[in-house]
Structures are given as C-alpha cells and as structure tokens.
Amino acid sequence: MRHALILIAIICSTVALSGCTETSNTLSESAGVPVAEVPEIAHRVSSASGTIDSIEYKGLNLSMNQCLYIFGRAIVMLASNEKGNIPVREYGNPESPDGRLSSAKLTRAEYVDIANRTCTWMDKNGRVPNHVGIRQEGARDLSPDTVLRLFVKVLTEYRSTGKLPETVTVP
C-alpha cells in the first residue's frame, strides 16, 4: 500500500511538472500572442534604449508595426476583460506618417478608443495609419510613434498595477 501511494505521488508530480512545461517559453505566430503576455512585451520595449525596429520575445521576432497592433488590441481586450490570443500579422509602414500633438492627457475611454480605431484601421488597410486623431474638438493628431509610446505607457502601468490607468499623459 505504501509503495502504491509513493508511486501515485511520483506519477502525480510528473504529470504536474509536465503540465508546467506544456506552457512553453516560446510563442508562435500561428498561435498568436496571449493577451496576458503583452504587458511584458510592452515593458521590454519601454526598457530598450534608443530606437528599435523589432523585439524578440519568447521566440517571436515582432516588428514595431506588429507591436503597435498587438498593444492596441491588448488594450481593447483588457478594457473589456477579454482573454485569448492576439493574431500576429504583417503590417506595412505608414505611407506618410504625420502627427502634430506633442503632449496630451488622455482618459481611459480616449486611449481605448484610439487603440480600437488603430487596430480596426490596420485590419482594414494592412498597414500602420499615418496618424490617429483624438476625438476632442480641435485636438491634434498623434503620430504612429506617439501612439506606440502611448500604448507602451498604458501597458507598462497595467503590468505594475494589474489595472488600466484612468488617465495617461503622452509622450
């Protein structure tokens, strides 16, 4: 009886350990990026010094265009408590990037709206938008780089607190 219990304990611990390794440390383009992983990717982007064109995370090499989409989609999903994976697709560069807004304080509703409109536009057009507007009367547009920094800021705060911030200041 004692040997049987020891054997059962060994089998259970082996199964538990194999279950841990099943959630591998690699991600794939075909499976997409789990929304729960995105704040860590944003943190790594925020920690990078200088301008970067891509970032490697758990076996995926993501361009900044892909990060813009993934970060925006994650913000929308986190705002509505959605779980799941975000598809990894290729997106072209903006044709004529523009944006005149140098700083702003955005509410949660505003930056979630910006994230949703950015992703919707990228899905429809297959590339990064030239600029994204804030839906305030007379507000200037945000450049793609500013939108990326906005999304990174939101997600790194989420990583620290477990909540989307009520307001965020850009840049």
Q: Global pTM?
A: 0.82
What's the Cα-to-Cα distance from 51 to each of 60, 66, 75, 91, 132, rounded to whole Å?
19, 15, 23, 19, 21
What is the pLDDT confidence band of residue 24, given thresholds at 50, 70 and 90?
A: low
pLDDT in tens, 141-154: 889 999 999 999 99
- Residue ranges per structural domain of the chain: 24-170
What's the Cα-to-Cα distance from 52 to each of 65, 107, 147, 160, rounded to whole Å?
11, 28, 15, 23
**Predicted local confidence at residue 79, as pLDDT:** 98
Identify the weakest region by mean pLDDT among 88-92, 117-121, 128-132, 133-137: 133-137
On average, the pLDDT of the chain sits at 84
Rg of the chain over Cα atoms, rounded to whole angstroms, equals 20
pLDDT in tens, 61-77: 999 999 999 999 999 99
